[in-house]
Structures are given as structure tokens and as C-alpha cells.
Amino acid sequence: MTPEALLGGFADAPVQSAHAFRASLEALARPGTLQHLTGAIPPAPMSVAAGVLVLTLCDGTTPVHLAGGHDCGPLRDWITFHTGAPLVAAEAAVFAIGAWGALQPVSRFAIGQPDYPDRSATLIIEMPELTAEGPRLTGPGIRRAAHLSLPAITEFAVNSALFPLGFDCFFTAGQQVAGLPRSTRIEAA
């Protein structure tokens, strides 16, 4: 483990994790809205928002998969030190983190079972930027319609059609996060 792995965690964990948890719930409850997360400084290539989500939502019982460029020594050490989360293959992940291309094919992630739909994966998809533009989102938590700059449409529409099964997503860019639960319907803008 490198000395850098010891840095970048929450300075005031109880307060910062409570604020981050509230923002992450708000992101999933109101798909397409952009929330702001701060308090962590993870190693590259992980964004601040993704790092805050990991510190808030993962612990020693939460299997995490790092995809593509995110599967690097400094990030592995940082997650292990700060959360104790085991790093696993995609098929065993509760959380999977990486760029959209690195997470493909998304069909390898757990979507739950009919009697246990909660046994599914949550993807933390790192984006170059997030905007309230793009495909039209409708469903629970959205008054009429919302828009979000998604990296694809087809895969998310297929995932939505599986409801109550399917994976949930957080999109992160810098200090911004947006949520896309499996219950959200996606249509081309």
C-alpha cells in the first residue's frame, strides 16, 4: 500500500457522509437532477463525486468492481484503506465503477432475482461532463419529464423494461452526480 492511499478521505466523516448520503438519495429519487458532492480527494482517474459515493455507500461487506482505467493500484489501495470493500470480478459486484465503455457489456452485472430484486448491482459511471440535456426521462420522481446527458440510450431503455429487475446507476463528473434508477423510462429526445 502506498502512503497516498492514506490521504483523501473525509475530514469529518459523520457530517460529510450524512450530507453525501442525502445527496445520493436525492439523485436517485429525482432522476435527471444534478447534485453536488465534496469532501473526498480520490486518486485519478476517479472523480470527486465517485470517490464521495464510494466512501459513503461502501464498507467491508460491499463487493466493488473497478473497470478499465479505474482498476489501478492507487485506486485499489485507496478504496481498500478507506472502506475495506473487497475488490471483485464484475459478476460478483454490488458496485461497479468506471467509464461507460469499460463497463461493457452491462449484461454481466447482477439485475436481481424475481423474489429478491434488491440483489442487483449499482453502476457508478464516470462521465466527462453531466448536463440536463439529452434523452427524455419519465417515471417515478419526475414531475413531467427530465433530460440527462446519457452515454447511450438502448442499454438503459432495455434495463428499464426489466423493472423490477435491473441495475441502478449514478453518473459522476467532477463534483456532480446524477441518478438513474431502473424504474426510469428513457426515450430519445
The domain ranges of the chain are: 3-187
List the chain pLDDT tens, one digit each, 189 residues: 777 788 889 999 999 999 999 999 999 999 999 999 999 999 999 999 999 999 999 999 999 999 999 999 999 999 999 999 999 999 999 999 999 999 999 999 999 999 999 999 999 999 999 999 999 999 999 999 999 999 999 999 999 999 999 999 999 999 999 999 999 999 987
Please tell me the predicted confidence (pLDDT) of residue 6. Answer: 83
Q: What is the CATH number of domain 3-187?
A: 3.40.50.11310
| Rg over CA atoms, the chain | 16
Q: What pLDDT score does 147 carry? A: 96
Q: Measuring CA to CA, how many Å separate 184 from each of 53, 142, 164, 181, 188? A: 21, 9, 11, 6, 13
Residue with cell string 442525502? 22
CB 38 within 8 A of CB 148: no
